[in-house]
Amino acid sequence: MTRAESPIARAAALDAYLARRAAQGFRIETRSDIQAVIVRRHRLYFLLRWLARRRCEQRLVVSVDQHGEVDSLAAEPIRW
């Protein structure tokens, strides 16, 4: 197992990515060693959640593969 493939290196890559996204206004909703769900709400969230559901928040699933590469995909909206 190489250093780039170790669980510690994968967690460190995820930590660095999450720190950059936190500076952009995202907060961590859930997290494990290799995956996280992050969300950034619009500043008018409480109004927009009734008027424009898809535009009120941005949710992403962030994961780290076995090579230490971080990838993020749009997450499903929370269902009430």
Please tell me the predicted confidence (pLDDT) of residue 21: 92
H/E stretch holding 16: helix 7-23
Instruction: Parse the chain into domains and list their residue ranges.
Output: 3-74
Please tell me the predicted confidence (pLDDT) of residue 5: 65
Place of tokens 């961590």: 28
The pLDDT tens digits of the residues spanning 13-68 come to 999 999 999 998 898 999 998 999 998 875 655 555 556 555 557 788 999 998 88
Please name which of 29, 44, 35 lies closest in space to residue 10, comparing C-alpha atoms.
35
- pTM value is 0.75
